Structures are given as C-alpha cells and as structure tokens.
Amino acid sequence: MQCPYCKNTTSRVIDTSHDSRGGVRRRRECEKCGQRFSTYERPILATPLIIKADGTREEFDREKLLRGIRIACAKRPVSAADIERLVGEIEANLQAMGKAEVSSRVVGDMVIAGLKELDQIAYIRYAIVYLRLSDLRAIRDEIDHLLLES
C-alpha cells in the first residue's frame, strides 16, 4: 500500500476492523515517514447498469452518487460517515437486487428515502432537483407533507 504522504510502498498494519457489509478497514503506518493513514477494502460485486430518463445506460458510479448527496448535505450537521453509510446501503441494495439494469428512478427513490431519515433540509434540497419542484408552491407543499409526517 502506497503512503499518501511520502509515496513509500512499505507500511505496516496497526489495526483491522470489519463492517457489516463485508468491508475491511485497516489503520496503517508508513515505515519511512511514520505517518498513519487508513485504507478501506470492500468486495467488488457487480452493480447494475443505470437506465437514465432519456433511455441511455451508464455504469453505476459510486463517486457520482456520493457527490450528489454531499451537495445536498452541504453545510448541514451530517457527518461524512453518515453519507458514506447511506451510499454504501444504496450500493448494497442495488447489488442485492441481482438485476443487470435498474432505472435511475430506483436509485433516486433510495436516495430520497435515505435523506428523509438523515436530514430533512438535505432531503428538500435533493427533492427540489429530483422531484422537479419548479416553484415555491410545490416546495411548500413538500415541506408541509414532511411536517405532517413528523
């Protein structure tokens, strides 16, 4: 494993832990510069192709999903770990479906459901784009609906 600080290729593992999705987190120490860093290993499982609204297909992109959720959660009290967990859950659900192709709508619905539980402001931010809430009345209706649920 290459050290992110000095690029040395020799490091030793200090600690190893496992998560519920089969991933392994390793805490490492560079043998050259002494800096510590973490690595995360997760099994590579097949994720389905995503069918976009216009009919085009593209590979599932974990980083793209992560960016979109981070934007919705910007300046909100949502930890990076919570965002990672949500993305991991969505990816695991897609893999568990066992399908070769899944509509982008399914992914969006999973994000909406996850954000609703995580942070309601982030949910509204995402919903404005995803649900195409085009005016203040539609946004207010969605907020009123949220308030009734809680």
Give φ, ψ of 80 to 5 degrees.
-60, -35
Predicted local confidence at residue 40, as pLDDT: 87
- pLDDT value for 21: 63
**5: amino acid identity, one letter:** Y
User: What six digits make up the tokens of 21?
Assistant: 């999705």
Q: What are the per-10-residue average pLDDT scores of the chain (150 residues)?
A: 94 89 88 94 81 94 95 95 94 90 95 95 93 90 88
- Taking a C-beta distance cutoff of 8 angstroms, is the pair 121, 76 a contact? yes
Report residue 139: phi and psi, to 5°: -65, -45
pLDDT at 134: 87
Cα–Cα dist 136/145, whole Å: 14
Would you list the domain boundaries of the chain? 11-41, 49-149
